[in-house]
């Protein structure tokens, strides 16, 4: 029998590490506290974005594998790992569906008239900045549910041959910023041919028209927070249709978030867009496959998490099943999450970013729910929900 390997993992993964226990000894440490002393005798390191993987951390270690349960890799010095001969894996795409759910739920939360939500939703124009795993899936959902106008800004993808991108309506940044809803899904890059740091600076923020909605669920540094705060403050006395609506899930100085900005935006959440039961499972499944390959462990992972389904009429009371918006608001209560973050910001208690993230109940994604015959929705609303990934 092969020797059991030793894994050091972020303590956030405690409930998801059963996949690894047959062949590994696992030690858990809070992600922001992981440092060099914890790596003594460790073969593999599993982290989230809160742990910086750099030379100071790994130097002198015996690591053979580093995995991050995230799509983004800004917290990982890939060159340092390559020079040290350490195999690396991200969990690209694992939380893409969860982030799409967040965008839809945010639009639900901003709309007080649930009865006519679907009609208004379909009439809006949508601009997607970044068409990677999340952006492409969001475009697909929007088109599937009946949206007529979805523009995409992604110069690196537009300039390379990619069969999956052929159907995307590539447009200029100005064209995308003129849409009713603008959703941002880019990695954070300070340099290179396509830097995204402050991609939405004061000049771009000023182009957003009154009544538009901006959603950033990618990385905090792609948005100039000072400029955004100034824009929001300048419109504080305007009617809703005369001002910019802003939803932020990511913040430039995480785990800190600028209190004035938290208070000013319409919805503020503590980087939870990618949180879901399925996303966490997907990430662990990807890392399990990569890790077992590296260590020559012949173990196939068999699980039914991704295929589990929940009957809507058994999950929610009938009173919440009379419109697509009301049931989505119940399944993903973003208003409550935002109000808690805003409360703590206003009362000088933080916002306590990590504490709020750790308290979030892992939700099931929309695709896990089945619209059964007990749900009294007309065919139009059923097709609308199906387009947004609900099952029928």
Tokens 């799409």 correspond to 100
Please name the fold of domain 5-90: Rossmann fold (3.40.50)
Catalytically annotated residue among 52, 74, 175, 254: 254
- pLDDT for res 1: 41
The pLDDT of residue 352 is above 70: no
Catalytically annotated residue among 136, 185, 219, 258: 219
Domain residues of the chain, as ranges?
5-90, 96-274
Same topology between domain 5-90 and domain 96-274:
yes
Listed in sequence order, the DSSP H helices in 178-218 are: 202-207
- Compute the Cα dihedral for 131, 133, 138, 140 and give only its sign: positive
Confirm whether 185 is a catalytic residue.
Answer: no
The architecture that CATH gives domain 96-274 is 3-Layer(aba) Sandwich (3.40)
Catalytically annotated residue among 48, 136, 258, 271: 271
Share of the chain above pLDDT 90, in %: 84
What does the pLDDT look like over 168-221, one tens digit per residue?
A: 999 999 999 999 999 999 999 998 899 999 999 999 999 999 999 999 999 999
- Helix (H) / strand (E) element for 268: namely strand 267-268
The pLDDT of residue 351 is above 70: no
Confirm whether 271 is a catalytic residue.
Answer: yes
Residues 385, 370: Cα–Cα separation, whole Å: 10
Nearest Cα neighbor of 371 from 389, 357, 359 is 389
pTM reported for the whole predicted model: 0.94
């Amino acid at each position: 029998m092969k020797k059991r390997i030793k894994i050091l993992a972020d303590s956030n993964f405690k409930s998801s590490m059963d996949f690894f226990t047959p062949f590994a000894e696992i030690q858990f440490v809070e992600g922001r506290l992981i440092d060099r002393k914890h790596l003594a005798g460790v073969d593999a390191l599993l982290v989230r974005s809160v742990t910086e993987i750099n030379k100071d951390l790994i130097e002198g270690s015996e690591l053979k594998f580093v995995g991050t349960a995230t799509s983004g890799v800004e917290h990982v010095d890939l060159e340092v790992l390559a020079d040290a001969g350490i195999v690396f894996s991200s969990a690209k795409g694992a939380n893409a569906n969860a982030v799409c759910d967040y965008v839809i739920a945010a639009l639900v939360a901003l709309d007080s008239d649930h009865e006519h939500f679907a009609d208004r939703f379909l009439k809006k124009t949508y601009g997607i900045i970044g068409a990677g795993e999340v952006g492409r899936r969001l475009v697909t959902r929007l088109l599937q549910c009946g949206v007529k106008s979805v523009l995409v800004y992604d110069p690196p993808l537009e300039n390379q041959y990619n069969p999956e991108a052929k159907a995307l309506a590539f447009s200029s940044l100005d064209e995308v910023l003129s849409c009713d809803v603008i959703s941002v899904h880019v990695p954070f890059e300070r340099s290179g041919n396509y830097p995204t740091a402050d991609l939405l600076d004061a000049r771009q923020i000023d182009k957003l028209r009154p009544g538009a909605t901006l959603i950033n669920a990618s990385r905090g540094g792609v948005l100039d927070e000072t400029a955004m705060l100034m824009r929001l403050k300048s419109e504080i006395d305007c009617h809703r249709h005369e001002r910019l609506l802003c939803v932020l899930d990511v913040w430039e100085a995480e785990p800190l978030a600028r209190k004035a900005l938290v208070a000013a935006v319409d919805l503020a959440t503590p980087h939870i867009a990618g949180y879901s039961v399925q996303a966490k499972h997907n990430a662990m499944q990807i890392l399990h496959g990569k890790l077992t390959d590296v260590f020559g462990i012949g173990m196939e992972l068999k699980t039914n998490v991704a295929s589990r389904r929940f009957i809507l009429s058994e999950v929610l009371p009938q009173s919440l099943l009379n419109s697509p918006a009301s049931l989505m608001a119940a399944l993903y209560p973003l208003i409550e999450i935002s109000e808690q973050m805003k409360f703590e910001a206003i009362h000088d208690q933080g916002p306590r970013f990590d504490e709020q993230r750790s308290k979030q109940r892992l939700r099931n994604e929309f695709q896990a729910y089945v619209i059964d015959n007990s749900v009294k929705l007309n065919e139009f609303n059923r097709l609308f929900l199906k387009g947004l990934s609900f099952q029928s």
